[in-house]
Amino acid sequence: MLDRTNDGRRGGRVDRVGGEAGGIGDGDEPRVSIVLPACDGALAISRTLNRVAGYLESVPWSSEVIVVDDANRDETQAVVAKWQDRFDRLSIVTHKRKRGPGAAARSGVLLAKGTFVVLAETGFAAEAKQVEVLLGSLQSGAD
């Protein structure tokens, strides 16, 4: 988890596609950004979004989810577009050419607006509940 409470945003240029302010949680800016790089895993991203969305509906803090499509050849964009109808703070970032998992992660993190950024894999859903534990630790002074 990246804690941005002290160091602000880092530079870089990436364009976000889709997603609007408002939606999951409360407040104008999300407290937590969850970044999900996707590599030809439309089925996995659908399952992950289902679980993460269910979890985020139960928490009191605002959040956003950013899916990074690294020039996938599957239906990742269509799957995420269906979920955007449900969540205003779900965005997809699309690379025009394959750049690799590191670049996908970087693109998502650079666009994240949350005070805390969680970089996760598409199987992240099982561990989503651990975000609360991490937030509590960070608020108590852990680093």
Other CB atoms closer than 10 Å to residue 117's CB: what's the count?
23
φ/ψ of residue 75, rounded to 5: -95, 25
Determine the pLDDT at residue 108. Answer: 96
**4 pLDDT more than 70:** no
Q: Judge whether residue 3 has pLDDT over 60.
A: no
Average pLDDT over residues 62-70: 93
pLDDT per residue over 18-48, tens digit each? 443 333 344 568 889 999 998 878 888 888 8
The answer, yes or no, to whether residue 104 has pLDDT greater than 60, is yes
User: pLDDT above 90 covers what percent of the chain?
Assistant: 34
In the predicted model, is pLDDT for residue 135 greater than 80? yes
Burial of 15 (0-12, 13-18, 19+ CB in 10 A): exposed
What would the pLDDT profile of 109-129 be if each residue is shown by its tens digit? 999 999 999 888 876 655 777
| Residue 2 pLDDT class (50, 70, 90 cuts) | low
- Going by C-beta distance under 8 Å and a sequence separation of 6 or more, which residues neighbour residue 136? none
